Structures are given as C-alpha cells and as structure tokens.
Amino acid sequence: MAEFQEVLKQSALHPKPAGLCLQYGTAGFRTNAKQLDHIMFRMGMLATLRSKKTQATIGVMVTASHNPEEDNGVKLVDPMGEMLTPAWEDYATQLANAEQDDLARAVKEVIQKEAIDMSREANVFVGKDTRSSSPALSQAVIDGVSALGGHTPLHGLVSEHKGLCSTHQKYDQKHLCVDGANGIGALKVREMEHHLQKGLQISLFNDGSKGKLNHQCGADFVKVQQKPPADIEINPGERCCSFDGDADRIVYYYTDSDGRFHLLDGDKIATLISTFLKELLTQAGLDLNIAVVQTAYANGSSTLYLENTMKVIVKCTKTGVKHLHHEAQKFDIGVYFEANGHGTVLFSQAAVEKIQQLAEDANSDDTKKRAALLLQSTVNVINQTVGDAISDMLLIEAILAVRGMTVQQWDAMYTDLPNRQLKVKVSDRRVIDTTDAERRAVSPAGLQDAIDSLVKKYRQARSFVRPSGTEDVVRVYAEAETQESADALAHEVSLAVY
Ligand code: 16G
Ligand code: ZN
C-alpha cells in the first residue's frame, strides 16, 4: 500500500520519544506542549481514518483549554460536534503509544478492524487556540492528515456565532466586565463588541494583548481560587464573567459592598437558564419536558432548588462534556452544565418544531406568542454542538435583560453550600474506581465506608473522590453546612485516600 510508504517517511519527521506513554482522556491528550508533536501527527492520521469511515468531516482541536500556556492538547470531534466514540478513543491511545517502528502496523490494525475503504475521500478541520505552541502543533496534525491522503479544507479558529436577541430598553444593567483569559474568546469578543453596543457594553480584560493565557485569570482560576482575576479592578456590585483559554467555559461573579466575593458558577447558570425556559414553556402552554444535567460536583443546594422548588428533572452523570451531552439529548430540552462553567442547552428537533409552529401561529395570543418568540431566540443564540462561552454569555445577558434581573437577584435564587476541592497525589490513581456517576467509590475496598463515616460527622455534608481524567491526581470534593466543616471533611477524606 502506497500510503504506508508515506506514513513511514512523514512520521519520521514527527518521532515519538521512546517509552513515552500517554492516554486519551476526558479531554483528549493533554500535557506539556514539548511532548506532543508525534501525538499531533498521529491524531491527524486518525482523524483522516475516522473521516473515511464516517464519510463526514472530522474536527481536530489543538488546545489545552484552561491549563497553563506551556501545555497543549488535542481532541477529535465527530461530525455532529460530539466527542469521539469510546472505541476510537482506544485507537487514539494505541496510535499515540505505538513505538516508531510499530506505527505502520498500528495504523493498519485500525483500518482492518474498522474495515476502512482507503480510497475514500477524507476531510479534516483543524482548529487551534492562541498558545505559542499551537501553530507548529496544528501543522503536525495537518502533516498527519496528508500522510494518509486526507484534506484540510480550511483551518483556523473555530467559532461561529449567531445573532443576539434584542434586549430590553429599560434595562439599566448594560455593563459587563469580561475576562477573556488572554485566549481565543477575547479575540472574538473584540470582533463582535461593536455589534452589541446598544444592548450590552463590554469592558474586556485579559484580551491577549499582553498577559499570558490562563495565568492568574480565566474561569478555572476564578472558580478554584474563589476570587476575581489578578489585575482587574472591579467595582462593588459590578457584573463580571470569565472565560477559559479556549472559551468553552464561563463563570460569573461580583463583589458586594463588604468586599465579599460571590461566584455564580455553572450550577447557577443552569438554574437561571432552566428557570427562564420553564417559565416560557408554561406561558406558551407547550408540553415539553425539560431536564438539568449535572455532575457530582454540582452544589447540593442547586440540586435541591431545581428538584424541590423549580420542579425540574435533574440528572447526574460522570464528569466530562460527552457524558452530560448524551444525557441531555434524552429530553425535549436538556440544560447541561458542569459546576466549572462548561455547558449548553440542547433542544430536540420536535421541540424546535413545536416552538416554531407556535411562533408562527397567527391565532395564538400575545403572551403565548411572546414566549414562543423568546424560546425561538434561545434556540438561535445557543450553540448546541458544544458549550461555548460566548453564546452562553449572550444567552445569560439576554435572560437578565428580559427579566430585568440584577446579578445579585440571580445569585439569591439559592445559597451555595460551602465546599472545598482538593487534589491528592497517589502512586496509581487507577486503583480508585467509582460508580453512581462518580458519587461512590467501589474500590479500593473500605474507602467508601471510610468516606461515609467521615461525612456523618458533619451537617448537610457530602463528599466523593474520583481519579482525574486530565491530571495524575485523585480529586476530592466535600461540601457541608459551614466552610470550616467542608474544609475539614475534604482534608479528612483526602487522608483516607492514601
Ligand atoms: C475536561 C472536560 C471537562 C471536565 C474536566 C475534568 C471536556 C471537553 N472537558 O476538561 O468537562 O470538567 O476535564 O477534569 O469534556 P478532571 O477529570 O481532571 O477532573
Ligand atoms: Zn476549555
């Protein structure tokens, strides 16, 4: 096969350091950028195979999201914008770890197992973030694509946005501070800023002109440190939000007049959006089910509020967008958010059609029609393929404007339980195995019993441990009635993990 000559020749230009072993995790491959050249080349090849197999365009995204600028990563995106299927994640790991002289065999194995017709066309979109390592690494992906005869029709930054719904005239909270984390989201906000001016005035910080990506800024910094980005002066009560480096996460926050910091994370965002949509469904008289999908990290108060006060269906899945996405697809309207600010809203085809019918129905009364039009605008503004910080921001801003709601009123929907996250270094994190959407540990033996008895010592307490999918650590989460209790519980549970 001619293509294998090419594979051998080209792959020698992107050699694998012998012995290096990496795993395709929750967010693809992610590590220090220096270790990734061969991985990129190989993922270019794999994307080409996947494209030939599915006869659709496959995306390859070069980014390490909220991780430091020195890191980079790569993930493959299936035709509908979904994450790669599990069998192909295994191929990714196999190709990544094949030693140099074994690579051609590893590629052939995928071709055989999947019965891929190599004469088919392949198209691969390559996207990258603004990291300094991204141009060279995305070139390595492109080399991998061409080594197997695929095409890279267009490459560049993947981000597309639809129009924003018009906002209320009387709304006097038009100002928003945006922390762009010195990433791609900042560049995109700059481009669209002037289109928004009437409805929304944005002050953009960390716009990429001087600071380092994700350094002391961005959604992850704000969420984990529970404080505003360094170098930003925010006035008391002012509404602010932070993206992460690749703009697929968003969190909101403000400081009150006592200087206290208030975080409105993915759980608060899901609550705001689902409450809004549920009200509109009632006004429109539409019989569509709506669910909120969360992970174990969702604050207990948010789950209680959604279930008991809002009476919406709440589901819990494993961490990682693909798990939430799949669960959300089971409902007419599925709102999914991780507490870290990663999420979006999915509308089933049937829901979109019913909404459209009502919006166009000449006989429906004004209330119904207005509700249907607002639902339709939501469908238009949200990015259903993947959580996207900018479209999430536009939706949140539109909801606040339509409801005439301040960030403080939004925050007051429920009060978060104090919580603490820790990470623990262990010799092998894979000895921890979990069940029940990562809320309970099944191994090692005795660990869950130990956690249960620690949790019993505190009021309103909950805790779980899970092996990270992106770092070599075990993560510990604890929440309880007071911050002291949450801190103590997290500490005690982390000792039980050793
Ligand atoms: C990845 C996931 C994110 C998840 C995080 C958990 C995607 C696109 N991203 O960044 O959703 O919250 O991993 O990391 O799925 P962890 O396993 O290290 O805790
Ligand atoms: Zn991200």
Closest by CA position to 161, among listed 398, 395, 400, 338: 395
Probe ligand 1: pick from 321, 344, 429, 474, max atoms within 8 Å of CB? 321
If phi over 0 gives left and psi between -120 and 50 gives alpha, with beta otherwise, what is residue 55?
left
Q: What is the pLDDT of residues 235-246, one digit of tens each?
A: 999 999 999 999
Ligand 1, atom 12: nearest CA belongs to which residue? 320
pLDDT of residue 236: 92
Cα separation, 333 vs 178, whole angstroms: 28
d(CA 298, CA 316): 9
3-state SS class at 293: strand
Task: Provide the pairing of β-strand 124-128 with 58-62.
Answer: parallel
* The predicted structure's pLDDT at residue 453: 98
| CA atoms of 180 and 219, how far apart (whole Å) | 9
Residue nearest to atom 19 of ligand 1 (CA): 468
Q: What residue ranges in 265-388 does DSSP mark as E strands?
A: 290-295, 313-317, 333-337, 343-347
Instruction: Tell me the best of 470, 472, 475 to mutate to test the pocket of ligand 1, counting ligand atoms within 8 Å of each CB and taking the most.
Output: 470
Distance 249 CA to ligand 2 centre (A): 6
Binding residues for Mg(2+): 65, 244, 246, 248
Whole-number Å distance, alpha carbon 247 to ligand 2 midpoint, is 6
Give me the count of residues in the chain: 498
Query: 375-398 burial, b for 16+ CB within 10 Å, e for fewer?
Result: bbbbbebbbbebbbbbbbbbbbbb
**How far does the centroid of ligand 1 lie from the alpha carbon of residue 435, in Å?**
17
pLDDT at 345: 97
Ligand nearest to the CA of 386: 1
From the candidates 11, 51, 65, 134, give the one annotated as an active-site residue.
65
Q: What is the pLDDT of residue 169?
A: 41
pLDDT at residue 157 in the model? 32
CATH no. of 266-411: 3.40.120.10
Give one DSSP letter per residue of 376-431, joined into a string: HHHHHHS-SSS--HHHHHHHHHHHHHHHT--HHHHHTTS-PPPEEEEEE--S-GGG
The verdict on whether 65 is a catalytic residue reads yes
Index of the ligand 1 atom closest to the CA of residue 470: 18
**What's the pLDDT score for residue 156?**
32
Which ligand is the nearest neighbour of the Cα of 248? 2
Tell me if 180 sits within 8 A of 244, measured CB to CB: no
Residues of the chain with pLDDT under 70: 1-3, 79-82, 154-172
Read off the tokens for 68.
């430091």
The CATH number of 2-156 is 3.40.120.10
The pLDDT, as a whole number, for residue 163 is 34
Start-to-end Cα distance in the chain: 51
Write down the H helix ranges in 163-265.
184-196, 218-225
Contact between 14 and 45 under an 8 Å Cβ cutoff? The reply is no
- Which ipTM did the prediction report? 0.97
Q: Do domains 2-156 and 419-497 have the same CATH topology?
A: no
pLDDT value at residue 71:
95
Domain 419-497 has CATH 1.10.1030.10: no
Residue 416: its pLDDT value, please?
Answer: 96
- Show the tokens assigned to 448: 């869950």
Whole-number Å distance, alpha carbon 186 to ligand 1 midpoint, is: 22
What is the whole-number distance in angstroms between the Cα of residue 72 and the centre of ligand 1?
14
In this structure, are residues 310 and 235 in contact, taking their beta carbons and an 8 Å threshold? no
Closest-lying ligand 1 atom to the alpha carbon of residue 65: 10
**Using CA atoms, how far apart are residues 131 and 334, in angstroms rounded to an integer?**
33
Q: What are 444-491's pLDDT values in tens digits?
A: 999 999 999 999 999 999 999 999 998 899 999 999 999 999 999 999
Per-domain residue ranges for the chain? 2-156, 175-262, 266-411, 419-497
CATH of domain 175-262: 3.40.120.10
Q: Which atom of ligand 1 is nearest to the CA of 471?
A: 18
- In the structure, which protein residues have their CB atom closer than 6 angstroms to any atom of ligand 1? 26-27, 65, 319-321, 338, 340, 342, 468-471, 475
- Cα separation, 271 vs 277, in Å, equals 10
